[in-house]
Amino acid sequence: MDKNRKHKINNNIRVRFAPSPTGYLHVGGLRTYLYNWLFAKKHNGKLILRIEDTDRERLVEGAVEDFIDILKKIDLPWDEGPFFQSDNIEKYKNKTQELVDQDKAYYCFCSQERLKKVRKEQKENDLPPKYDGHCRNLDKQEVQNKIDQGEHYVIRLKVPKNDEKIIFNDVIRGEINYNLSEIDDQVLLKSDGWPTYHLANVIDDHDMGISHVIRGEEWLPSTPKHILLYKYFGWTPPQFVHVPLLLNKDQSKLSKRQGDVAVGDYLKKGYLKKALINFLVLLGWHPGTGQEIFSLDELIKSFSLNRIQKSGAVFDNEKLDWINGKYIREMDNKKLVEKCLPFLKDAEIVKEIADNEFEAKNKKRFSKEWLEKIIAVQKERMKTLKDIVELSQIFLTKVDYDSDILIWKKSDKKQTINNLNVIYNSLNKLNENDFNQESIQQSLEKLSNEYGTGKIFWPARVALAGQKNSPQPKEIAEILGKDLSLERIKKAIKILQND
């Protein structure tokens, strides 16, 4: 372990997940939630859900509901909240006024036009974009006159202009320091009276007794401003933990431009919550072993902030597919049927489903038992729950194909027609009650000994499935049943004869 990566663990661990509802819950946001949740659970702490809804111009309708809905679906509940910053506007105003009264913040009346001009000049002179302090030293009377005249203003943090450093320890990155001269006079209270993130999150973290701030590394440059605010208020800062960014394969920041990033999109595609949790926790954290699949209890036991890496983590969809597929294969088939049904219904492949075979036969509906057989055969091929839509087509819809794919590469049309007739007659002799994988396989193997393996099993499989890539003939035929199996073989013969 890096000797600089120190942090205190006490008996009062309190962490928070504080999303801003300016968009739907991002997979990076969920990972941050998971790290907070696991840390809290491991140390018998509390996780607070706080909605930081002070950026009124960028609020996205439905975003708050999306956060709460997704977190409930993930089924890892928070302990306190949700709390909304919009309920505490007067508190933020009062705390800002305290800073003004102590000469630690000041009124700024600069127009947007002036600020744009200053930034343009700074850019032209290769200077860092910062507020130039134009209103920093206005006297109290001048400030009051401007307020009385109705001029718009913001309130800015008054950063000392000297060579001192802001030094803090980040659990992941060790000791970090910034020169005060590099820190901008950040806006604390906007012209509409609403606080900025920088002000509100510091006040709330203190008031909520937050012990560890676990958040994305994009907030690292803002941390010196936050520490300065803690100092101005006379408060002890929490311990900071800035987790690495999620990256695309090209090392760019994960974004919508290169694919889905909303957690809801992954759930809609059929990724299991346990697989998403397992995958996201491993993006930036490692257990120190080669283990890749974890139960929730194992994650809680193994999780440590000291094992979060510094560098960005690549979001590998192939790895997610592998983990999700593994969870699917390990799931009980009856439970998997229930998970797959919504996708089959959305695709209008299955409208209604019967609970048992008796009800299915009487009402001419598919049964859960029948779907269970399909899933038992196809689950090895599934990466997501949604895959069942395509994989079930051969059983639940009419087959349609060209005659070419029926013919084995070492055969011809005439021989294939003959072999399909032989297959038809052989399967037709089987008793309907004994039409199972064992009897079907025995029947086909007997024919293959006489006609050749490929010349029997290839046309049998294609005729039954309607496609080249599919399960074995015995698996397909058992699920279809005798009547439908024979019907499909007869159809294949006609397709060849009419070609």
Catalytic residues: 256
Query: Residue 15 has which token pair?
Result: 């962490």
Q: For residue 337, give the nearest of 319, 313, 356 by alpha carbon.
A: 356
Count of CB atoms situated within 10 Å of the CB of 279:
24
Q: For residue 353, give the nearest of 340, 343, 362, 341 by alpha carbon.
A: 341
In angstroms, the Cα distances linking 326 to 323, 365, 381 are: 5, 31, 10
CA-based torsion, 119, 124, 128, 131: positive or negative: negative
H or E, element range at 482: helix 482-498
Assess contact for 180 and 161: CB atoms under 8 A.
Answer: yes
Query: Residue 370 has which token pair?
Result: 């029948």
Q: Give the SS3 label for residue 182.
A: helix
Assess contact for 22 and 52: CB atoms under 8 A.
Answer: no
**Amino acid, single-letter form, for residue 312:** G
> Which residues, 6 or more positions from 260, have their beta carbon under 8 angstroms from its beta carbon?
266, 269
In angstroms, the Cα distances linking 442 to 4, 288, 353, 439 are: 68, 50, 32, 5
**Amino acid, single-letter form, for residue 497:** Q
- Antiparallel, parallel or unpaired: β 212-216 and 187-189: unpaired
Question: DSSP per residue over 410-444, as a string?
Answer: T--HHHHHHHHHHHHHHHHTS-GGG-SHHHHHHHH
What span, in angstroms and rounded, lies between the C-alpha atoms of 131 and 121? 12
Assess contact for 49 and 78: CB atoms under 8 A.
Answer: yes
Apex 404 CA angle, 403 and 408, nearest 5: 115
Phi, psi of 6 (to 5 degrees): -110, 145
What span, in angstroms and rounded, lies between the C-alpha atoms of 289 and 88? 45
